[in-house]
Amino acid sequence: MSDKFYITTPIYYVNDYPHIGHAYTTVAADVMARFHRLTGKEVYFLTGTDEHGQKIEKTAKQTGETPIGLADRVVERFKTLWEKLNISNDQFIRTTNRDHIFGALHFFQKCFESGDIYLGDYEGWYAVNDEEFLTDTQVQELGDAIHNNPNIVRLKEKTYFFKLSKYQDKLLKYINDHKEFIQPEARRNEVIKFIERGLKDLSISRTSFQWGIPLPQDPKHVMYVWFDALSNYITAIGYGKDQAMMDKWWPANVHLVGKDILRFHCIFWPAFLMSAGLPLPKSVFAHGWWTIEGEKMSKSKGNFVDPFEFVEKYGADPFRYFLLREFPFGQDGNFAAEQFRLRLNNDLANELGNLVSRTISMVGKYCGGKIPNIPSKSSLVEESLQHAKNFQQHMDKMTFDQALNEVALILRKTNQSIDTAAPWKMAKDESLKTQLEQHLYEWMEAIRIASVLLYPFMPTLTGEIRKN
């Protein structure tokens, strides 16, 4: 087993402020990073922002800013939120950074030298907000509505193409041979079906706007934003500059992404890497979307969950816990304020908070504040250790809700053990003193085990528990 773990979030587009979707992916990545550090691994955790492209240029004009001015302003919002959420990233990359631009150009040049990039004519539909060229299938699905959508424009220009079609069979073989590469399975099946419909060569430069990385071969062209953005996963670890760092960390163990950018990460990115002669990441895990009170998030409905507000009101740890406890990672889920409060009260206040409070109180009352050192063969401790093993297996598969359920079982059993033993009655009988101390030891040990397991999810609260 490798003693290193490299995890990434997508880099987030700076035309808008961070919302619950951004927080969800980043908290999940942070939990995985903290978990693997707990297991003794050396971890590199990367997040950051994607700052080039037509959408940024367009938004900056609307707000009366320069593109870099817009990026600088929005980046601070992301950095502030990650700080409030206790995100432990090792690097925050920006695609406007000089080192990233150097690495992205080096990556482009490698693909160019492989004979996979050529100049041609592009004509087709382009979704500006998604920075995405529409496939024939997407165009057919939109029908006449395509002409009334201000976000979708018809482009006709000279452009550099990447020979994506060349990698169709190679990609299919790789995905079929490496079942773990795309997770969960439903997403893998989606990608396979998309590839089987046939891949067309991909336009990877633009001349219709200027906010991007100019190509040295042809400075009138700027690099397609997805070619630029995806390369961040290697430019952040020294690609083209620091081979020792690249060798240490690449390939990444997991790219965490939302399902809406699955195709870019599971088709475009691996094809680019193959072209440049680099190994592919070990896995891409695409999680689902959040709905808000049963409805899709929408600016027009004003139903975006502001993570800043929730963290300010309830604290970072409860918010982090809820995001990964409520439904299986990989599936869509619903954010309901009432359900959040129920989780807060039932799981954290009642099961965890009351357990810790009353057990510490009993140690103070019956043992002078010192945890008795009277280990006994306790079924509760043995069961807790088994739950810890199950927890680790779930974490390795990123089934966070099931991992947290193992912790919930430890807490529930410990509470039940206290109720059954009735230590307040035992304390009245001097002959039961040793037995009482053994119980207190095992209850505190179960709490210790639970606090270690909960640490990746709630680093602040578990730190306070362990101090007590």
pLDDT at 137: 74
Spatial separation of the C-alpha atoms in residues 219 and 366, rounded to whole Å: 77
pLDDT at 127: 82
pLDDT at 157: 83
Q: What is the residue type of 329?
A: F
Dihedral angle sign, alpha carbons of residues 274, 279, 283, 284: negative
In 224-372, which ranges are E strands?
A: 254-258, 284-287, 290-292, 295-296, 333-335
- Rounded alpha-carbon distances, angstroms, from residue 451 to 206, 404, 411, 466: 52, 11, 10, 7
pLDDT at 274: 98
Confirm if 96 and 71 have CB atoms less than 8 A apart: yes
pLDDT at 161: 96
Enter the pTM of the model.
0.93
Burial of 116 per CB tally in 10 Å (0-12, 13-18, 19+): buried
pLDDT at 468: 66
Ordered per-residue pLDDT tens for the chain, 468 residues: 579 999 999 999 998 889 888 999 999 999 999 999 999 999 999 999 999 998 899 999 999 999 999 999 999 999 999 999 999 999 999 999 999 999 999 999 999 999 999 999 888 788 877 777 787 777 777 887 788 788 888 878 889 999 999 999 999 999 999 999 999 999 999 999 999 999 999 999 999 889 999 998 899 999 998 999 999 999 999 999 999 999 999 999 999 999 999 999 999 999 999 999 999 999 999 998 888 877 776 656 666 778 999 899 999 999 999 999 988 998 888 888 888 889 889 999 999 999 999 999 999 999 988 988 877 778 999 999 999 999 999 999 999 999 999 999 999 999 999 999 999 999 999 999 999 999 999 999 999 999 999 999 999 999 998 876
Q: Which two tokens stand for residue 131?
A: 């920075």
pLDDT at 1: 55
Spatial separation of the C-alpha atoms in residues 435 and 429, rounded to whole Å: 10
Angle at 50 between CA 46 and CA 56, to 5 degrees: 165
Spatial separation of the C-alpha atoms in residues 360 and 348, rounded to whole Å: 16
Q: What is the CA radius of gyration of the chain?
A: 26
Dihedral angle sign, alpha carbons of residues 97, 102, 106, 112: positive
CB atoms under 10 Å from CB of 309, counted, come to 9
pLDDT at 359: 95
